[in-house]
Amino acid sequence: MLHKSVYRLRRKAAACAVCAALLLTPALAASFTDVPQNAWYAAAVNEVVDAGLLSGTSATTFQPSGKVTRAMTVTALWRLAGSPAPKSSQSFSDVPSDAWYSQAVAWAAETGVASGNGKGAFQPGNLVTREQLAVFLYQYAQSQGLDTAQGKLSAYTDGNTVSKWAVDGMEHAVGAGLISGSKGKLSPKANATRAELAVVLERLMTPAVG
What is the C-alpha to C-alpha distance for residues 176 and 142, in angstroms, rounded to an integer?
13
> Per residue in 6-23, pLDDT tens?
444 444 444 444 333 333
State the average pLDDT over residues 19-37: 61
Looking at residue 206, what is its pLDDT?
82
State the average pLDDT over residues 177-189: 95
- Read off the amino acid at residue 93: S
> Per residue in 107-153, pLDDT tens?
999 999 999 999 999 999 999 999 999 999 999 999 988 779 999 99
State pTM to two decimals. Answer: 0.84
Domain segments of the chain as ranges: 1-68+193-210
> Per residue in 66-85, pLDDT tens?
999 999 999 999 999 999 99
Question: Distance between the two ends of the chain, CA-based, in angstroms?
Answer: 12
Looking at residue 110, what is its pLDDT?
94
